[in-house]
């Protein structure tokens, strides 16, 4: 849960004395081993706010790769839920130059990416004070309940908290704060975007006109539920794949999805997680001339992998059991093995210990099911 900041803490951290304390202690190691001397040093500099200072220094280091607030103020929960800058910028493009209301603005990470003139509101006075620090005078900020609209005639974006009353993560939309259905009802007459965790069951939000899954550098970061004029006509599901270097692409359920089911070919492809979670594996296969190994398994195969991905050149494949796999790995002198599993009840770490690898070669083995047959595919991973 992290340190529980107070408004007094925030006021101190924004003051000249607080800024001086943060600056003078910025070189602390902040590791478990250095905890005692770090606390002692912070007590000497900021005796009444040493815990807030130490937490802020630690959170600023965590935030550096995620948000553009180098001297920002954060809570641990707010930083964990904050949208990475690349994803926030991607989402904000949908709003064009329309003034937008972020009704759960928290520390301001999403609001910073929205068009000029956009406003933010939140019920938490501490997070709101932190947002004022992080955003300066660039945005109007209000204290307000997201379920009681305080704006009119502008699109709305929301990012409900996804922890229950005990602080544990929850996947039930009815336990979000505010709940998904209540948000949708409160803004039924507005264009609405709701950020959610990618593991949410989207069938519980039938009011969403479009569901977009977004990944960044191979990790699925969020789902966004779009309604009204923010949704794309003719599209109900979308996967958007972003990379830190700027490359990106998208695919939707309006794209063709004709793809065959064939035995393993020269290459095995594991689609990006956003594609899999959006249910667009066949669409991705059709775009790149690939085939499925099995209609219910999200592995693809073909003679040529798509560019710019990590793909697997197949060495051999066959019926999987531990004895046969051990013999195959021994024959190929494999000593370092990556194990990927989909569709079978196999624990990679347990299996690796039992295989007793002792060779010098490196390889990947994919364990999956083709029809009813447990299958191994021995391969070498390559960047295309």
- Omega prior to 287 cis, within 30 of 0: no
Q: Is the pLDDT of residue 353 over 90?
A: yes
SS3 of residue 275 by DSSP: helix
Distance of CA 48 to the CA centre of its chain: 36
Assign 280 to helix, strand or coil.
Answer: coil
pLDDT given for residue 202 in this prediction: 82
195 has pLDDT over 90: yes
pLDDT mean over 1-20: 94
Residue in the block written with tokens 């492809």: 269
What's the pLDDT at 303?
A: 96
Q: Where does the pLDDT of residue 176 fall: very low under 50, low under 70, confident under 90, or very high at 90 and above?
A: confident
Alpha-carbon span 147 to 130, nearest angstrom = 22
Contact residues for 185 (Cβ-Cβ < 8 A; gap 6+): none
Averaged pLDDT score across all residues of the chain: 94
pLDDT in tens, 292-325: 999 999 999 999 999 989 999 999 999 999 999 9
First to last CA, the chain: 41
pLDDT digits (tens, 9 = 90+) for 95-141: 999 999 999 999 999 999 999 999 999 999 999 999 999 999 989 99
Residue 77 has pLDDT above 60, yes or no: yes
Q: In the β-sheet with 361-370, what is the strand arrangement from edge to edge?
A: 291-294, 297-302, 267-269, 310-319, 373-383, 361-370, 334-342
Quick one: CA dihedral 325, 327, 328, 334, positive or negative?
positive
The strand pairing partners of 314, in sequence order, are 379
Helix, strand, coil tally for the chain in percent (to 5): 35, 25, 40
Do 56 and 188 contact (CB within 8 A), yes or no? no
Q: Tokens 């939309």 appear where?
A: 173
- The model's pTM: 0.92
CA dihedral 12, 16, 22, 27 (to 10 degrees): -170
Provide the β-strand partners of residue 87.
none
Distances in Å between the Cα of 350 and the Cα atoms of 9, 322, 347 are 48, 12, 5
Eight-class DSSP state of 33:
G
Is the CB of residue 109 less than 8 Å from the CB of residue 82? yes
Q: Which DSSP category does 306 fall into? A: P
* C-alpha span between 383 and 308 (Å, rounded): 7
Whole-number Å distance between alpha carbons of 61 and 1: 17
pLDDT of residue 171: 67
Residues whose CB is less than 8 angstroms from the CB of residue 263 and which lie 6 or more positions away in sequence, other chains included: 293, 301, 370
Q: Distance between CA atoms of 90 and 86, rounded to whole angstroms?
A: 6
Please, which residues have CB within 8 angstroms of residue 337's CB and are 6 or more apart in sequence?
329, 352, 355, 357, 362, 363, 364, 365
Q: Is 251 helix (H, G, I), strand (E, B) or coil?
A: strand
């Amino acid at each position: 849960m992290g340190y529980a900041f107070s408004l007094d803490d925030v006021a101190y951290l924004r003051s000249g004395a607080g800024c001086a304390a943060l600056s003078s202690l910025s070189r602390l190691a902040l590791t478990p081993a250095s905890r005692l001397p770090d606390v002692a040093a912070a007590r000497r500099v900021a005796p009444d706010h040493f815990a807030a200072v130490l937490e802020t220094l630690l959170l600023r280091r965590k935030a550096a790769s995620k948000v553009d607030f180098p001297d920002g103020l954060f809570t641990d929960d707010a930083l964990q839920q904050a949208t990475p800058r690349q994803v926030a910028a991607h989402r904000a493009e949908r709003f064009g130059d329309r003034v937008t209301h972020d009704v759960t603005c928290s520390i301001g990470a999403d609001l910073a990416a929205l068009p000029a003139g956009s406003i933010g509101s939140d019920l938490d006075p501490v997070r709101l004070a932190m947002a004022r620090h992080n955003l300066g005078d660039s945005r109007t900020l209000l204290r307000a309940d997201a379920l009681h609209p305080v704006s009119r005639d502008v699109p709305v974006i929301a990012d409900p908290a996804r922890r229950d009353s005990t602080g544990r993560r929850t996947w039930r939309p009815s336990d979000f704060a505010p709940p998904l259905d209540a948000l949708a009802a409160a803004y039924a007459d507005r264009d609405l975007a709701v950020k959610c965790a990618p593991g949410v069951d989207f069938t519980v939000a039938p009011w969403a006109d479009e569901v977009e899954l977004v990944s960044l550098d191979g990790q699925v970061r969020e789902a966004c539920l779009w309604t009204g004029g923010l949704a794309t006509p003719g599209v109900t599901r979308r996967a958007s794949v972003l990379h830190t270097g700027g490359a990106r692409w998208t695919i939707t359920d309006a794209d063709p999805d004709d793809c065959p089911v064939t035995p393993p070919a020269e290459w095995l492809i594991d689609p990006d997680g956003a594609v899999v979670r959006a249910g667009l594996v066949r669409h991705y296969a059709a775009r790149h001339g690939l085939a499925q190994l099995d209609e219910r398994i999200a592995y693809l195969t073909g003679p040529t992998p798509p560019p710019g991905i990590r793909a697997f050149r197949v060495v051999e494949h066959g019926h999987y059991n531990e004895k046969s796999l051990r013999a195959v790995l021994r024959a190929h002198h494999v000593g370092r093995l990556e194990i990927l599993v989909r569709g079978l009840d196999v624990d990679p770490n347990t299996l690796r210990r039992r295989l007793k690898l002792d060779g010098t070669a490196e390889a990947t083995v994919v364990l999956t099911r083709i029809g009813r047959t447990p299958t191994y595919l021995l391969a070498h991973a390559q960047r295309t």
